[in-house]
């Protein structure tokens, strides 16, 4: 039987996580019932918080657990009806409702902990059986979304008509596209130099294995690489934005700026304090793009490895920029 939610991939991520959550919750209910407990799995975070932190307001629970206010209210009301939580007015602020465990809930702690120990062992076994750091990946997803929400990421693409374009990091299958796209724009305006070939002929060895990264704008429908750029680690805390190019039919569509902004975000993750680049004054659209995302022209700190380079730019403030969600140029 076809698993539609699985086939839909990332588009149904929330539904798939909800399905997994439902499966774990249902098994949790069965475990509690098999031991004679009326406890509900979804009560666990609130119960544990009140055990560890003592009486708390709904707002405190919401902040501590990262669960929405309506969801906390729903859970708390269930626990009140079941006799596990008591609510009373805050002595300092009568408008606030303070929540505390009842004597019944406190007395249930020992029996609950006798359930939680083997339950944790069973969950650990499930996670270990996957062969991956599942909890670590969940931490990473939450961190990424806190840094930049799904809404912001959607608007960044939707408003500029790039909803079907994804930005991917280096994979061996993209190496040929990295070379061909960059060769095309270089030969169009200049001549290939020895320094170009060091990166283009061996992108993995010259860039990625030295602590850098290469980004690719990929058409989600055709899997065609439409643009690329590189982040080359040049020194501790310094990264060069280089080898940025877009296939000719896609120029002017916003892909260049999508790559540039993605590169800024990636450089943040890589811990760069200064991002720098070299270009040529004949490439006016590129210079304008770099200026629009915070790069400032500076004197060359050292002679360039490229004969064509007559522009040097740095952005030391990019780590403080809020990435725009307005249409790209």
My answer on whether 202 and 97 are in the same domain is no
Q: Give CA–CA dist 328/252, Å, rounded.
A: 9
For residue 328, is it within any domain? no
Q: What is the pLDDT, as a whole number, of residue 222?
A: 93
Token pair for 179: 């070379």
My answer on whether 68 and 169 are in the same domain is no
pLDDT tens per residue across span 263-286: 998 998 898 989 999 999 999 999
Calculate mean pLDDT across residues 115-133.
Answer: 95
My answer on whether 170 and 143 are in the same domain is no
- Percentage of the chain surpassing pLDDT 70? 93
pLDDT tens per residue across span 81-111: 999 999 988 777 767 889 999 999 999 999 9
Q: What is the pLDDT, as a whole number, of residue 325?
A: 37
My answer on whether 168 and 51 are in the same domain is no
Calculate mean pLDDT across residues 25-45.
Answer: 96
Calculate mean pLDDT across residues 106-133.
Answer: 95
Identify which of 183, 179, 184, 263 has the alpha carbon closest to the alpha carbon of residue 217.
263
| 55 phi and psi angles, rounded to 5 deg | -50, 135
My answer on whether 310 and 177 are in the same domain is yes
Q: What is the pLDDT, as a whole number, of residue 1?
A: 74
pLDDT band at 315 (very low <50, low <70, confident <90, very high): confident
For residue 192, is it within any domain? yes
- Percentage of the chain surpassing pLDDT 90? 74
Question: 310 and 297 in contact (C-beta within 8 Å)?
Answer: no
H, E, C per residue of 236-304: CCEEEEEEEEECHHHCCCCHHHHHHHHHHHHHHHCCCCEEEEEECCCCHHHHHHHHHCCCEEECCCCCC
Q: Given the structure tokens 């992108």, which residue do they identify?
A: 203
pLDDT at 324 over 80: no
| 116 phi and psi angles, rounded to 5 deg | -65, -35
pLDDT tens per residue across span 152-199: 877 766 655 567 889 999 999 999 999 999 999 999 999 999 999 999
Q: Which domain holds residue 143?
A: 4-147
Look at the chain and report how many structural domains it folds into.
2
Please report, for the domain that includes residue 33, its CATH number.
1.10.10.10
My answer on whether 128 and 13 are in the same domain is yes
Q: Mind giving me the DSSP string for 79-141? A: HHHTTSEEEEE-SS-TTSEEEEE-HHHHHTHHHHHHHHHHHHHHHHHHHHHHTS-HHHHHHHH
Please report, for the domain that includes residue 257, its CATH number.
3.40.630.30
For residue 154, is it within any domain? no
My answer on whether 168 and 311 are in the same domain is yes
pLDDT band at 317 (very low <50, low <70, confident <90, very high): low
The predicted model scores a pTM of 0.55
pLDDT at 300 over 80: yes
CB atoms within 10 A of CB 170: 19
């Amino acid at each position: 039987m076809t698993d539609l939610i699985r086939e839909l991939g990332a588009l149904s991520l929330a539904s798939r996580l909800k399905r997994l959550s439902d499966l774990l919750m249902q098994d949790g209910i069965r475990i509690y019932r098999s031991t004679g407990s009326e406890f509900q799995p979804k009560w666990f975070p609130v119960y544990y918080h009140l055990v560890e932190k003592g009486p708390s307001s709904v707002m405190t629970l919401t902040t501590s657990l990262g669960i929405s206010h309506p969801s906390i209210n729903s859970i708390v009301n269930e626990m009140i009806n079941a006799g596990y939580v008591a609510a009373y007015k805050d002595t300092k602020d009568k408008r606030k409702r303070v929540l505390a465990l009842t004597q019944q809930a406190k007395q249930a702690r020992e029996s609950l902990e006798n359930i939680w120990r083997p339950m944790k062992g069973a969950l650990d076994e499930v996670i270990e059986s996957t062969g991956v750091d599942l909890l670590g990946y969940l931490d990473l997803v939450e961190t990424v979304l806190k840094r930049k929400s799904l809404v912001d990421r959607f608007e960044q693409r939707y408003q500029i008509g790039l909803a079907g374009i994804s930005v991917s990091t280096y994979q061996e299958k993209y190496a040929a596209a990295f070379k061909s796209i960059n060769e095309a724009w270089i030969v169009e305006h200049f001549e290939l130099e020895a320094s170009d070939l060091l990166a283009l002929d061996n992108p993995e060895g010259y860039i990625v294995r030295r602590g850098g990264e290469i980004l690719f704008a990929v058409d989600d429908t055709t899997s065609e690489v439409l643009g690329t750029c590189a982040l080359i680690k040049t020194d501790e805390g310094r990264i060069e934005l280089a080898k940025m190019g877009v296939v000719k039919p896609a120029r002017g569509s916003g892909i260049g700026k999508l790559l540039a902004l993605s590169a800024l975000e990636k450089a943040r993750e890589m811990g760069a304090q200064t991002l720098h680049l070299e270009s040529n004054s004949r490439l006016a659209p590129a210079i304008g793009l770099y200026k629009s995302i915070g790069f400032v022209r500076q004197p060359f700190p050292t002679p360039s490895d490229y004969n064509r380079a007559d522009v040097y730019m740095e952005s030391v403030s990019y780590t403080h920029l809020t990435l725009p969600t307005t249409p790209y140029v």
